[in-house]
Amino acid sequence: MELKELRIGDLIAKIPIIQGGMGIGVSLSSLASAVANEGGIGTISGVQIGFREPDFATNPLDANLRAIGKEIRKAREKTKGIIAMNIMAAITNYELYVKKAVEEKIDLIISGAGLPLALPKLVKGTSTKIVPIVSSAKAAKVIIKSYLKHDRLPDAIVVEGPLAGGHLGFKMDEMLENKCMALKDIVKEVKELIGSFEAEYNFKIPVIAAGGIRSKEDLKELSEVGADGFQVASLFVPTVECDADDKFKLAYINAAEDDEMIIKSPVGMPARAIRTNFLTESMVSGNKASKCYRCLPGCNPASIPYCISSGLIDAVEGRDGLIFAGANLKGVNKLTTVKEVINNLIG
């Protein structure tokens, strides 16, 4: 199978693979630059990116803004390739984080976990590309029509299926009963939707398939229904270049099939994670969060079992915590490198 290069506006990735953004702290400048050096698009996760800053506990906003600048600059020192930043649309101070990344001349903003309708105004007058994440053609249509009000179209669209890790754009009952539309079918619908917009405005909108991609066969199947590129995340975790602690990587390597869980996140959304003592105890203990970083608007520590930021930070630093992961980790069974992951995917 011959894969074409991925063109997003004037950006050209020789390899049509985007490394998915993984927070907190799983994909920072080290992983992102390594993927970019191989010809793909590396992604820094902007979620609570300042967790290692000394004032994070008391002033997370300033810590996060400072860390956005640091990580983008560190990535630029390591690569001349394409670097993206993934910022959740639902996060507190979203617009400030996007503006900071744009000031640092990030190549792309990839944004999901909500509809990133503010992106056109936040990147206006800059060369930064905007790439929303959707889980349905319906969501893609809403975003496109909103962007057109700003005389803008998305530069690409990531279509994320039900096998992705972390927060998911599907209903909990659909996830638990395995009734979600398959990724290839969503890609096909989105591809058909954007065709009319591409023709009318003479503007190419690449479709990036995401969620549970593990093999060359997956890439081939998705290419056949119109995917122009592929977002891959979990495969890059157990690599030497990944920014997470080695114990975090071992959780992926050692995960059995029944360790993959669909949970209700403290933010109220279904999410896919790896079973840990932290998770199982939080489900039965009845305890409430002892602290809250207010990373999401409306989060009330009095009514949630744990702070999602604390759980993710503990895990990425090698302690018992919350570990998000995509489905089908059976083949993710050894420590490897970014180069080897990409070679196994593209042949």
- Reported as a single tens digit per residue, the pLDDT across 128-138 is 999 999 999 99
**For position 167, what pLDDT does the model report?**
81
Instruction: Identify the three-state secondary structure at position 41.
Output: strand
Residue 127, CA distances (Å) to 167, 191, 293, 298 in order: 29, 25, 32, 33
Ranges of beta strands (E only) in 46-107 are 82-86
Residue of 161, 160, 162, 131 lying closest to 144 (CA atoms)? 131
- 61 and 103: one domain? yes
pLDDT at 123: 95
Which tens digits make up the pLDDT trace of 160-178? 999 888 888 878 787 777 7
Residue 269 is predicted with a pLDDT of 81
Q: How many domains does the chain have?
A: 2
Q: Has residue 1 been placed in a domain? A: no
Residues 178 and 87 in one domain: yes
Residue 216 pLDDT > 90, yes or no? yes
Q: Are residues 137 and 20 in the same domain?
A: yes
Which CATH number characterizes residue 41's domain? Answer: 3.20.20.70
Share of the chain above pLDDT 70, in %: 94
pLDDT of residue 288: 65
- Residue 208 shares a structural domain with residue 266: no
Rounded (10°) angle between helices 94-103 and 60-78: 30
Burial of 10 (0-12, 13-18, 19+ CB in 10 A): exposed
For 260, the domain range is 247-324
The arithmetic mean of pLDDT across residues 223-227, rounded, is: 93
Please check the confidence at residue 46 and state whether its pLDDT lies above 80. Answer: yes
Residues 202 and 310 both lie in one domain: no
pLDDT band of residue 298 (cuts 50, 70, 90) is low
Whether residues 139 and 213 fall in one domain: yes
Is 161 found in the same domain as 303? no
Is pLDDT above 80 for 324? yes
What's this model's pTM, rounded to 2 decimal places?
A: 0.93
The pLDDT of residue 227 is: 95
DSSP string spanning 112-172? Answer: -SS--TTHHHHHTTS--EEEEEESSHHHHHHHHHHHHTTT---S-EEEE-TT-SEE-SS-H
